[in-house]
Amino acid sequence: MARIAGRNGVVYLSLTNGGSASPVAYLSKWSIERTVDKYDVTAMQDANKIYVSGMPDSAGDFEGWYDDATPQMYAAAVDGLSRAMYLYENTDTAVNYWYGYVLPDFSVEGGVAEAVSIKSSWKAASPVVRMRNGVVG
């Protein structure tokens, strides 16, 4: 596997619950975080703390520049319904991506000396799966 630049990434998000996903315009950054709950099960006389794992979690962010003709994130934040998401790390190798249903939030920010920007933080509403060369995993 080769190192890649983020400039060829793209995020697809459906406009409606159950609808087809389309590219979100003018995004400049994305992230995905995979974590697992960890429970402390340390007992007396253990040499150090001991943990067991619980449920996995998926969350992330999309950031970019505001475009009033790209309504996917705002629509999802207003109605609270899940949306199909596809996150392509590099469109040159479109066989590698993440997908699932997510619940995105929406924020917009601007100022006198800056462009208006958007940010969407999301949480998983279904399993968020990693695809590599057409295979889950």
> What secondary structure letter does DSSP report for 25?
T
Task: Supply the pLDDT for residue 2.
Answer: 74
Tens of pLDDT, residue by residue over 35-80, are: 999 999 999 999 999 999 999 999 999 999 998 877 777 888 888 8
Label residue 74 exposed, middle or buried (CB < 10 Å: 0-12, 13-18, 19+): middle
The confidence score (pLDDT) of residue 76 equals: 83
The domain segmentation of the chain, as residue ranges, is 6-136
How far is the C-alpha of 10 from the C-alpha of 16, rounded, in Å?
Answer: 19
Which tens digits make up the pLDDT trace of 83-136?
Answer: 999 999 888 777 889 999 999 999 999 999 999 999 999 999 999 999 988 788
Nearest one of 118, 125, 5, 133 to 64, comparing CA atoms: 118
- At 134, which amino acid appears? G
Architecture of domain 6-136: Roll (2.30)
